Each structure stands twice: as structure tokens, then as C-alpha cells.
Chains A and B, each alone.
Chain A
């Protein structure tokens, strides 16, 4: 029983993390049909913003020293800033290009950010201890759950409901949803393209920053590669959820997290290193059955 509870908390917190990352990808895809390969690098950028630039193995806290109340908004703002900046510098000039060109450009941009980080911080993963107290276990329903897991689950719920409210109730949210469905029509009704796109990038970047904070607290490591892996999962979740569908991205993010945790628990020991291979193969099989995504009505035509 306690094992099951443990599994539940693991799945919920990992799923939440994936859902947040997937939302970041889906938001931008929805508004401008861009598959943003730089998203993982936004995450890595936010992680490294916590520490002093140096190539030493042990990280010295920089922004990470600030108290949480200041740190969290600053990092979220930083994530939003780099995303908005990348839109301004790169993607704005590709508005009329086809989605494939934008996708390749984002891949190149991600590579640039990644190598800039490598050049500044070196390639070795660094130990970072941000809020170590949060890893103290708490007993719930017979399972010993690190406080952080609870916080992750709660903050995911918070972020997802917050975003849902924002999209549903605010002016910019309405404009984003309209733009995601038919950008030209929205503009014909006076919706400002730049405002909507900048808004989407800012939200997406802030989500990347939230993911970064959670990952760094959980793993205690700053590694340039950490963004890439979660970005891949997020991509998969957005495709599984139906490209462009925000609720689909959240649901698929949770699903991938759950399957991933279950595989980790049930796979025989010698097969565990291959967990991701099993996971991605499962995903490809899923897509074979439902190419338009799991959470999209079968009648809907693929949007890309």
C-alpha cells in the first residue's frame, strides 16, 4: 500500500513537471506554429543563472543566494526575458517563413545558447544546493514523501489552474486562444500580433524557469544537458496531446510522467537503463494508432 502511495506521488510530481514543460512548448506552437527547440535551453539558462559563472566543479550561488520570495519572481522574469528576447532577435524575422524553417532556426538558437553556457560554465555537471531543506521527507499515507514533491505537485496545480484562468478570463488569454485558432482572423479583428506573440513567449519562458527551479532543487545538479532531455519529453507530450491543444499537452505530460514512473518501478533491474527507449517506443506506437494525438477527437484533422 505504501509502495503504491509512493508511486502515486512520484508519478504526480514527475507528471506535473512534464506537463509544465509541455505547456511551454504548446503555448508557442499554438500561437505561431513554431516547434521551439530552444525551450530546453531556456530551462538550462535559468538553472545556470542561479550560480556564479565559472568553470569550477563546485557551484557558488549567485542569484541562488537570494531568499525564495525574491528569487522565484526574478528567475521567472529571467526565463520570460530570454524567451521574449529570442522572439525579438530571431523568430520575429521569420514570421512569414514556413514552420519548418522556424523549427530549424529554433534548433540553431538552442545550440547557440547551449554552447554559450558551455563556454561560460564548462561541460561538467555541478553540484548545486538550492533549498536543500525541501528534500526532507514527510510521512503521508504511509509513504515517505520529500516535501519538495508535495510542493511540485501543488505548484503544478497552481500553475496549470493559474494559466487556465489567465487564458479563460483575461483579455490577453482570449486573444491568445483566438490567435491560436486563426491568427489572420484575429488580426482582422484588431488583435495585435506582436502583443499576443510576446505574451506567449513570456509565459512559455516563465514556465521554463519554473521547471528549472524544480529540477535543480530535485536533482541538486546544474547540467547543460538537463534542458534537452525534458524538452524532448515535452515535445512528445505536445504531439501526444494533439499539437496546439493546451489541455491535451497537460494531460499528455502527466501521462508520460506516470508511464515513466511505472516503467521505472516495474521494469526488471537490467532493463531500467533503457527506460527512456521503452517510453519513446511506446509513444511512437501510440501515435501509430492515433496520429492526431490522444486527446483530440478522432474526427479532428491533424493541424500540421
Chain B
């Protein structure tokens, strides 16, 4: 059984559909990139899984537990954590307080302290500025904080929405290095929205291409950089069609 199962879901904002007939499975420990043009429904997919957006059709399961219809806090408790687009750091809280917001659902006080120590070890700058207002951090530091914060709920699955948005390429490398190390250390499952398929290919993993709220292509990220598949997603032909055409 897959870790995360998304079965035929639809998300709509008013009458505008954002996600349609979407089915997706993610296995335990897997790293899956969701790519595609703007407005493809990538963020809506993550919001639906996290409970921040309601689905109008279909169901979502984690380890066989039904997530559909549960409020976001309940889904967080089942082991899904989110690093949202734009990071959504609590700017008026200190760095350490940001980390602690997500620990309310945990009963293992010692492990919480160990996790915080580990995050500070991984991101020394966060440790140095633990008492500073998080709003004063740079964009890259905020991204690190958002990842650290997501870890603090002790999740099985972390969803990251556009981690490279607004960051310098060098920082993006760093962010991905960290994510991959964490995944190995903790046996995490990762679901990442990444516009740049080149980046996804370099990091490695499975890639899912979305367009118009649907999945239009799927495969190994390295193979998917193949121009035809990308063109298909961006310019509107389905991958099968391009294959038969060539």
C-alpha cells in the first residue's frame, strides 16, 4: 500500500476548477516532484492534501487513514507537514517560537528538545538567532526556518511548495541538500512542487507533470527533462500524442 493515496479528487474555488480527476500515489520514503506551468493546480493539490482547501470530489488517504473532510490540524496530527509557498513564517514570533508552534501535538518532550538541537546543528544561523524575531531573517534563512518548523511536528510526509521561489541558486542548492539529508536520516516521504524540472532532475526522484488541474505526464525526473514531455505540458499537447508524432 502506498504511503499517500490521492483518489480522483477535484478542488474548485467557487465555480473555477483548480484540480480535476487527479489520482496520485506516493510510496513511503519516495521523493516526488510536482511540476507544470502556473495555474496547473500544483499548490491546490498540496492544499487539498493538507486540509487547507476542501475537495469537492474524491478521497485522500495517508497510511489508509482517510484525510478528506478533516480539518488541517487533524491532518497535521496524522503526520503531514507543510512548507507553504512564500514560507509563511510567523514574523512577530522569535525563531525558536516558530519552531515550537508545531510541537503542541507531541507528547515526547525530550525528543522535541533533541529535534530543536538538531535543527540548530543543521542550520547554525537559526541557533545563533534563536531569540530574534523571525521576520528579520533573510529569505534563505526563512526557508530554512520553515523547513525546520515543518520537521517539528514529527511528520512522516513533508510537502514543500516552491522551495526555490525568490532564492538565489546557491541557496536553493543548500535547501535541496538539506531536504535530501533530512529525508535520508529520518526516512521521510517528500512531495515537492518545483517549477524547474531541470532542478528536479538534478536532485533526482519521480516527477509528475500537471496541467489544467490534471496529471499529464509522469516518470523519472531525469528522463522527464526530455524536451518533448515538457513542451507537452507547457504548450498543450499530451505526451502520448507527441510520442506518436515523432
Contact = CB atoms under 8 A, between A and B. Distances in A.
In the complex, are there CB atoms of A and B closer than 8 Å? yes
Contact of B90 (A171, A181, A192, A193): A181
B102 interface: yes
A190 B52 contact: no
A193 B90 CA distance: 16
Contacts of A190: 73, 76-77, 102, 104-105, 153
Contacts of A87: none
A187 B72 CA distance: 6
Contacts of B140: none
B71 A189 contact: no
A171 B16 CA distance: 39
A181 B104 contact: no
B76 A188 contact: yes
B20 interface: no
Interface in A194-208: none
Contacts of A5: none
Interface size grouping (class) on chain A: 10 to 19
A122 B100 CA distance: 51
27 contacts: A177-B90, A177-B92, A177-B97, A178-B90, A181-B91, A184-B52, A185-B84, A185-B88, A185-B90, A186-B90, A186-B101, A187-B51, A187-B73, A187-B76, A188-B51, A189-B101, A189-B104, A189-B149, A189-B150, A189-B152, A190-B77, A190-B102, A190-B153, A191-B101, A191-B102, A192-B73, A192-B104
A188 B71 CA distance: 9
Nearest to A189: B102
A186 B92 CA distance: 13
Given A174-B101, A175-B101, A178-B101, A189 B92 contact: no
Nearest to B101: A178
A182 interface: yes
B82 interface: yes
Interface in B96-124: 97, 100-102, 104-105
A169 to B, nearest CB: 11
Max chain A C-beta neighbours (<10 A), residue from B72, B84, B102: B72
B153 A193 contact: no
A185 B93 CA distance: 13
Contact of B93 (A177, A184, A191): A177
Interface string B56-93: 00000000000000011100110001101000101111
Interface string A146-176: 0000000000000000000000000100110
Interface residues of B, number: 26
B71 A193 contact: yes
B188 to A, nearest CB: 16
A182 B77 CA distance: 19
B92 A188 contact: no
A187 B90 CA distance: 13
Contacts of A184: 52, 72
A189 B76 contact: yes
A188 B84 contact: yes
A295 B88 CA distance: 24
A118 B102 CA distance: 46
Interface in B170-207: none
A181 B90 CA distance: 6
Interface string B123-166: 00000000000000000000000000110110000000000000
Given A178-B93, A178-B97, 4 more contacts: A174-B101, A186-B101, A187-B71, A193-B71
B49 to A, nearest CB: 11
A182 B150 CA distance: 15
Contacts of A175: 101, 104
Given A178-B93, A181-B90, A181-B93, A188 B72 contact: yes
A182 B90 contact: yes
B76 A174 contact: no
Contacts of A177: 90, 92-93, 97
Contact of A174 (B50, B100, B150, B152): B100
A190 B88 CA distance: 15
